[in-house]
């Protein structure tokens, strides 16, 4: 896919081996079987698939490697895996099981050198730095949270995004905790700020409610890709419908 083509990426948030979806990172409801979901999304023209084991870090356990292997064996689109990945060995294992990219969040923040090491060993194109941010009204800035949104760090989001890029991350998955699951649109101010101050692709996440929101994230926010869960999992919109609507807005997509 050429780099002018904007990507639409469904996200499978996994808990206890099932796809779940919540609002603002809590009140999770079941949204189906991950393997079947993955197959359906590929058939429905997803450009990539993102698999996040959302409780691996907070439960302090390893990622569900058997699920990664099973999904990778059934789909042919690029596949990003995150959640509970802490070491270079973890990254190697996930890539060996068929993932194309690895998403690092808590581990990258706590030990930023892993981004440098991983990008040198595996190539920056497969290292995604996932950033969960929330607006702090008292300080009037966006700040980073770890452990699936449970742990505030007080660190400014743009500062960390720039460091992640410098250390070798090939892409940033930027999730707005304020917008997560609300379906009322992406957080354009932080998206725009990070897109304008970094030179790697930014995936917008958190808040997609309709294809117009996705178009807005690209046209106003500057995102290279849009990630969504609720609107796809529960059949509100199909990926194909979403892409057609985005194309009508003048965005180049793969159909």
First to last CA, the chain: 11
Residue 83 · residue 56 · CB < 8 Å: yes
Both tokens of residue 1? 């896919």
Is 47 tagged catalytic? no
User: In terms of Cα–Cα distance, which of 24, 20, 125, 163 is closest to 83?
Assistant: 20
Cα separation, 100 vs 88, in Å, equals 15
Tell me the two tokens of residue 212. 């117009």
Name the active-site residue from 13, 47, 90, 180.
Answer: 13
Write out the DSSP string of 21-53.
Answer: EEETTEEEEEEE-HHHHHHHHHHTT-S-EEEEE
The encoded tokens of residue 85 equal 């990945």
Residue 13 designated active-site: yes
> Quick check: helix, strand or coil at residue 204?
strand
Distance of CA 30 to the CA centre of its chain: 19
CA distance 94 to 61: 14
Q: How far apart are CA 174 and CA 202, in angstroms?
A: 7
CA distance 131 to 172: 7
Annotated catalytic residue: which of 90, 132, 187, 224? 132
The dihedrals phi and psi of 247, each to the nearest 5 degrees, come to -60, -40
Active-site residues: which are they? 13, 132
């Amino acid at each position: 896919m050429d780099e002018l083509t904007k990507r639409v990426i469904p996200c499978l948030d996994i808990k206890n081996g099932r796809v779940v979806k919540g609002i603002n990172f809590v009140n999770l409801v079941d949204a189906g079987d991950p393997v079947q979901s993955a197959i359906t999304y590929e058939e429905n023209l997803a450009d990539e698939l993102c698999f996040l084991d959302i409780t691996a870090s907070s439960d302090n356990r390893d990622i569900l490697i058997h699920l990664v292997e099973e999904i990778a064996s059934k789909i042919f689109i690029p596949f990003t895996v995150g959640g509970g990945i802490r070491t270079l060995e973890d990254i190697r294992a996930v890539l060996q099981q068929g993932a194309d990219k690895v998403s690092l969040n808590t581990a990258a923040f706590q030990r930023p050198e892993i981004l440098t090491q991983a990008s040198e060993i595996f190539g920056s194109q497969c290292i995604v730095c996932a950033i969960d941010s929330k607006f702090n009204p008292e300080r009037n800035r966006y700040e980073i949270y770890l452990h699936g949104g449970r742990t505030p760090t007080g660190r400014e989001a743009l500062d960390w995004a720039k460091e992640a890029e410098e250390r070798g991350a090939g892409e940033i998955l930027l999730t707005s905790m304020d917008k997560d699951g609300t379906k009322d649109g992406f957080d354009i101010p932080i998206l725009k700020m990070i897109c304008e101050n970094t030179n790697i692709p930014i995936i917008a996440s958190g808040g997609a409610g309709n294809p117009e929101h996705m178009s807005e994230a690209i046209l106003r926010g500057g995102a290279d890709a849009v990630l969504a869960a609720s609107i796809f999992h529960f059949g509100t919109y199909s990926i194909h419908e979403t892409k057609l609507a985005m194309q009508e807005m003048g965005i180049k997509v793969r159909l």
